Structure 1
Amino acid sequence: MRNTYFTSYFPLISLLLFSTSLSISTVMYVSDVLKKIGIYNSMLDFFSESEMKIALFALFALLYFMIFSALKLIANTVTELSFLFFSQDAEGVTLNKIRAGSAFYLAGGAISLFLVQFSWLIGGIFLLSTLCYFVFIIYQASSMVTSWSLIGMVLFNILFWFVFTLGLFYLFLRLYNGLINSLPM
């Protein structure tokens, strides 16, 4: 008999794996940038090289962990809202079925550890894991909903993430323009 909670720790491990791989990649990039602008050698007066890399790793690991945790919380909320609006499953059978889909993120996180040299590939692995998870959710939900409800679920998720991404892009663009305009020229 299979325990339904077997995959409950997969999301946490996935968050840790993606955060670790992106943190290592970012530390390598930031170290190169600091060396190019000449700050790295002056920082070595206060820290040893290993202490500085560990401190940067801890900082970026915490930052990426918080970002991925927030995205996971938003994604879970959007997924469950789409089930609330479009599914007739009142007992949550579909939610138990889709729990195993977190294995896609676990596999993606494990692969990302081997790609720390290429941060863009880590992002690609994350997006591929997300696409596989989305297809898995839709496949699992297809047996519990009508075809119109399935189309509604897909459109709801796609529309939400499109608006969310567009809103973040607009916010960062406004922030960047405000920062540039405030600089004395």
Structure 2
Amino acid sequence: AGYTDHVLQTAGAQLEPEALALLTEDLRSPCTEEVAVFHAFARTVAGATGRYVVIDTAPTGHTLLLLQSSASFAQQVEASPRNDPDSPAAQLFGSLSDPARTRILLVALPEATPVHEAQDLQVDLARARLQPYTWVVNSALSATTTTDPVLRARAAQETRWLTEIARTSPRFPAIVPWVPQVPVGVAGLRQLTV
């Protein structure tokens, strides 16, 4: 609603009633929500100096569209004198592609489907000219000291995927062991580093 109101107050302010009606109708389309998310994401990244922004998302087309939109928007700003090159949206791709400001981590379970999905995302990121920093392998049984024969067998199956991840990752991947309780808060995360 905030994005729609902003567009109507700025772009719609000078329009004739018929054109304003068309703009209002256009703003009801599903892509308006995606544009609003893009701008909210850009504002969040722009205001994150000295902080972390974590975007936990499945490796789907929506994520890539968001990243590609930032590149396209940056190109449009350069080409058009009407756009503000200092706006958060215009600066977003520069922030995302600057390794001093952004580190993209691909997180996957050491299993076939999650590894293949993350590899596909890595290829898509490369097309968007974005490079992951490294991979994080989550809930690895092979990183535990379990003696249960079923869990040991499952841990042995992870070897193939850990090898593939190590081959694909730009840096040595971080391997997080499986834990019986989901880590919550700072204390929970700290126990993963022990």
> Could you tell me the TM-score, scaled by structure 1's length?
0.25
Higher relative contact order (CA 8 A, sep 6+): 1
Higher strand share: 2
